[in-house]
Structure 1
Amino acid sequence: MKALLARFYIDPYLLMLLGTVVLASFLPPTGIWAPISGIVADIGIMVLFFLHGARLSRQAVWDGARNWRLHLAVAAMTFAVFPLLGTGIQVVPGLDRELATGLLFLTLLPSTVQSSIGFTAIARGNVAAAVCSASFSNLAGILLTPLLVAMLITGKSGGVSGHMVLTIVGQLLLPFLAGHLLRPWIGAWVTRQKQMLAVVDKGSILMVVYAAFGAAVADGLWSRVSVRDLAVILLLSVAVLAVVMGIARVTALVMKLPRADAIVLQFCGSKKSLASGVPMAGVLFAPEQVGAILLPVVIFHQVQLVICAVLAQRYRVAAEKAESSGGASPEPLVT
């Protein structure tokens, strides 16, 4: 089967992602299974961060945290380039007003964390820098996203609670720090378990996709939109993502970033967080608006996962080929 898929240039992981979306559409987690799927996804994320914390050396973590040029570039993509594109979308003729507002809200969100780091790890990028950039983006988004919504969208008054801060700290930073503190005892063993890390990287992303998309389906996603609405949002999502990734590539070349950092800029700088978008929308908008506001966020989330999964696998294959041949590191942003 693997040989057949390789012959037709079909990525097995892409099929797994699409299969997960189909499964969530027909068998979304409902009843008692809804919170269970969310808990399993959260555990997978925590295990992922714990293992990466155990694998990374202290020097790698320090280098990742002090890479301020990279972090500023990611922040600029997330909170400047994206909002400019979102503002431009508002003038697209024939676009439903609520869907246009949802697309604008999408561009104001912080970067996603777990998939950014997971794809960075798959692509052999700078995982330490990805952890810092994605975490910084989410923490900054707690303040910047409501401010941008207040400036660009008429939403209801209110702010974002400290629950998101606790979630970021509890699910991401604390497991990462725990794994890193235990590195002297388990670091060598974890480093040898490359297959296990690959399973956790991909498995945690698949579980997050199933839980997030399944929750939207269970809430009546497919009964509220037309085929035309879906097509418009899908096309605009692909266009926005393509433009942002193109800008990220040019920026990496201009900044002369090394391969590992260029991968971080592309994956962390091109993502938008569904996990942050859902609670923020509930706080910043009236209840009757939330459904339409979140639809573009859900669709863009799937688009970015599928496209980035393909790119991450290609980057990984290119890196492995370079390593096996003993050559120099390949160009990171292959097409």
Structure 2
Amino acid sequence: MAVDRRAPHPANELNELPGEEWLYFTKSVWSTAYPSELGHPLRKRHGANKPPRLMARLIEFFSRTGELVLDPFAGVGGTLLGAAISRGPRRALGIELSPDWARIYDQVVCEALAERDGLGPVLTDLGPNDPGGPRSFDAGGLELRVGDALVVLPTLPSGSVDFVATDPPYNVQLPLTMAGGALAERHTNRRTDYAMVTDHPADLANAPSYEAYLDRMELVLRQLHRVLRHGRYATVIVRDAYQAGRYLFTGADLARRATEAGFAVKGDLIWYQAGSRLRPYGYPKAFVPNIVHQHILVLRKDARPD
């Protein structure tokens, strides 16, 4: 049902949220259970696809209607779809290395636009779990470019982006971590048909080492810092990893690299998607964690001009 939202504070130049929704956003731990929608049967072919409603939540806090959102690792378009369902749609530019994921995104948008004889999809009203009332779908300002982020980003003008929301590759060959595939034959929930890593040399997951992965991510972060407007924010969703018998604090490592790239680290929101599977990685011999939470690193570019 439609709701009457309070007007934002007159001094609020960041977003269009009333005070109670601003406060709700700032909790440092989020647990979500979003409905399967907006082409989820197609999008789930990408094992790390993000719920468009999660991305809309970020977009609505860190931008205003009509502003430009950038995702340099767009995948199957969760950020772009999030921009389309934001209350007050945003423009969104995505960059994606894999043509396969880009084709899935294109199909999702085409099917969404065709629903209800061209009126677009009806999205479930989640009530208090999604403050602000029902959502609509407006894909008019979306663009997805196929290419390497480190090639496309330098072509964007400095200070041209209002908000960055992205979900980069988490690590080097992350699907091979944890139990190294040793449990795949005995436990069906470790088997997958998802091709999460391409054979493209620009795929960050193909970096020769963890440090090389961080080095390449820092290059991306430096470009994101350049294209972002002063005083504006970037959010990076990342999961820690467990490799070669040790826990890697990937979120903390990327936060340090973001600082080197010029960002100020403003927060770490912990996100848990309800229903995440548990897998018997170390059973019955050793403790190996099920890493079911993800970090949403909140970064800001200095408000002062260079």
Per the shorter chain, which TM-score range?
Answer: under 0.3
The TM-score normalised by the length of structure 2 is 0.25
Q: Which has the higher helix share?
A: 1
Q: Which has the higher strand share?
A: 2
- For CA contacts below 8 A with separation 6 or more, give which structure has more relative contact order: 1
Question: TM-score, normalised to structure 1's length?
Answer: 0.24
